[in-house]
A and B are shown apart, each in its own frame.
Chain A
Amino acid sequence: MIEGILVEGLLYAIMVLGVFITFRILDFPDLTVDGSFPLGAAIFASMVTAGADPWLAVSVALLGGVLAGLCTAAIHTYLKVPNLLAGILTMTMLWSINIRVMGNRPNLQLIRQSTILRNLVDVLGGGVGQEWVLLGFFVVLVLVIKILLDIFFHTDLGLTLGALGNNPQMVISSGVNPANLKFIGVGLSNGLVALSGAFSAQFLGFADVNLGQGIIIAGLASVMIGEFLLRSNRIFFLTLRVILGSILFRGIMYLGRYYGYYVGLTPNDLKLITGLLIIVSLIITQTKKAPGPRKKSGGPANA
């Protein structure tokens, strides 16, 4: 049970890291995610079915996600569409694209295909059990991604990206085009989301066009739960708490599925629970902030 939660938590943590980049660092609420997650799954499934190397398929899935993100950023930047709407547009278009990618099918089974996870279990799974092999693999994978992200956010480019959500004027003042940063940030985010989608297809054994439904909300809930765990301004802890938040969220969902049965909850209620979880998190953050005067957000207008 516990290893199952950990595997799921780590698998989705890759997606949550992407959501964290857009929502928290860029302050760019990006709904593309609901489309780029199944895009990653679809690309992986159809490539592997066509006989491609699973590692190549994973890389292409990641690239596909990056392209989806760039598409959203382009709609937002060039057509001056609000970021929320730009994401919804891409997400909606991706639904059709995902079906195309899977060869005009809404889902694709991976029963006999060789995937990264299956190959790994075949080689190592004899002694320790399948779940533990998966857990080991995802611990390594998520750690590598986390460390790469940490390094990236220490570079000059990463720092500037970090400032964008906080103070766009400052980014402009430092001679950087904010539009370029949005392309980089949203592209990177959706690349991670699609990567997560590709591994989730392997984990579940199929890709489905509806795999992405509610992914953004799950990601957001995970980010917010993580924020209760640790307080810091260091990127090392920020990414760490995203991963922990994802695991904890999957834990809560597991409990909802497992024990919810006794109070009459069905798996169909999980989305409601996720939403309520976000609302509760918001209420807690609001009440924590309540004492003292509210900080002015805009500041005085320049005369």
Chain B
Amino acid sequence: MLELKNITQVFHPGTVNENIALQDISLSIARGEFVTIIGSNGAGKSTLFNSISGTFLPTSGEVRLHDRNVTKEPEYKRAQHIGRIFQNPLLGTAGNMSLEDNMVMAMNKGFKGLKISLNTTLRDSFREQLVPLQMGLEYRLRDNVGLLSGGQRQALTLLMMVMSRPDLILLDEHTAALDPKNAEIVLELTLGYIRQYDITAMMITHNMHHAIAIGDRLLMMDKGEIILDIRGEEKRSLTVEKLVRKFQEIRKTELKNDEMLLS
């Protein structure tokens, strides 16, 4: 469904700040696959997402979505098929607008016309969809989103993303900025939606346990490369110790990322 062919992303080429963020990445994701991605800071995880969603034009290589070359398609066009959630809960919703207005915008992707979609029927349907979040948001349709907590806002973002039934979702450490309890809730909701709608998903996480326990394929990135690609039976029997050992075998160095090991 998604295919990356030899994607290379170089920032500030030819200057002292030259930074090779992605090195010749080739990757193919099948429909319905749930991929977790780990790697230390600066490994290129978010840059990988940026190249998939179209935030930047890659320096070289090709992005194919549904067997269509979308390398040069702008982000807003690709957004019709790709949903993305950022670490920062503020990026997914408009804080100075009400919940219902936010949901109307997310409901249908693409150019909006001069139609007033919001009516009683739609409000009822919004309420119904908000109930499973178990955050009491179904009573707050007219409140500004800015009044919600980070966890509520991220849960709403998640629901809004799912509402348009995207083919692929990119989760960029979307629970990392939340407190542990809310992070757990949002993660549970995410897994629920992915199962319910059979969504193809890629999730960046700093939490090794999550990366191992969740999903059916694991990618480990380091210095702009995918150094590990584990799936199937091997993924099911994976443990943190095995993963650390594998990293050492490949890179011949200690995995020195406290953030990854401690979590």
A residues touching B (Cβ–Cβ < 8 Å)? 151-152, 154-160, 162-163, 166-167, 169-178, 180, 233, 299-300, 302-303
Residues of B within 8 A of A174 (CB): 79, 105-106, 109, 164
Contact with A along B172-193 (1 / 0, CB 8 A): 1100010000000000000000
Interface size for chain B: under 10, 10 to 19, 20 to 34, or 35 or more residues? 35 or more
Residues of A within 8 A of B161 (CB): 173
Residues of A within 8 A of B83 (CB): 173
> Is B116's CB under 8 angstroms from A299's CB?
no
Q: How far is the CB of A22 from chain B (nearest CB, A)?
A: 16
Q: Describe A's contact surface by its main secondary structure.
A: helix
Residues of B within 8 A of A303 (CB): 41-42, 45-46, 87, 173, 206
Q: How far is the CB of A115 from chain B (nearest CB, A)?
A: 32
> Does B230 have its Cβ within 8 Å of any Cβ on chain A?
no
Q: How far is the CB of A187 from chain B (nearest CB, A)?
A: 15
Contacts A154-B118, A233-B97 given: A173-B84 contact, CB under 8 Å? yes
> Is A156's CB under 8 angstroms from B90's CB?
no
The CA-CA distance from A151 to B114 in the complex, in Å, is 9
> Is A155's CB under 8 angstroms from B113's CB?
yes
> Is A157's CB under 8 angstroms from B112's CB?
yes
Known A177-B77, A303-B46; further 12 A-B contacts with Cβ < 8 A: A157-B113, A157-B114, A159-B101, A166-B97, A170-B102, A171-B105, A172-B79, A173-B83, A174-B79, A175-B110, A177-B111, A302-B87
Residues of B within 8 A of A163 (CB): 94, 97, 101-102, 105
Contacts A167-B94, A300-B177 given: A156-B108 contact, CB under 8 Å? yes
> Is A175's CB under 8 angstroms from B80's CB?
yes
Q: How far is the CB of A2 from chain B (nearest CB, A)?
A: 35
Contacts A166-B97, A175-B79, A303-B45 given: A154-B110 contact, CB under 8 Å? no
Residue of A155, A162, A173 near B114 (CB, 8 A) is: A155
A-B contact pairs, 17 of them (CB 8 A): A154-B118, A155-B114, A159-B97, A162-B101, A169-B86, A170-B92, A172-B75, A174-B79, A174-B109, A175-B111, A176-B111, A233-B97, A233-B144, A299-B88, A299-B91, A303-B41, A303-B87
Contacts A159-B101, A176-B111 given: A167-B76 contact, CB under 8 Å? no
The CA-CA distance from A152 to B112 in the complex, in Å, is 12
The CA-CA distance from A169 to B101 in the complex, in Å, is 16
The CA-CA distance from A244 to B104 in the complex, in Å, is 30
> Does B239 have its Cβ within 8 Å of any Cβ on chain A?
no
> Is B75's CB under 8 angstroms from A302's CB?
no
> Is A233's CB under 8 angstroms from B98's CB?
yes
> Is A302's CB under 8 angstroms from B172's CB?
yes
| Nearest B residue to A164, CB-CB | B94
Contact with A along B63-107 (1 / 0, CB 8 A): 000000000001111011001101110111111111001101110
> Is A167's CB under 8 angstroms from B112's CB?
no
Residue of B45, B90, B97, B106 near A162 (CB, 8 A) is: B97
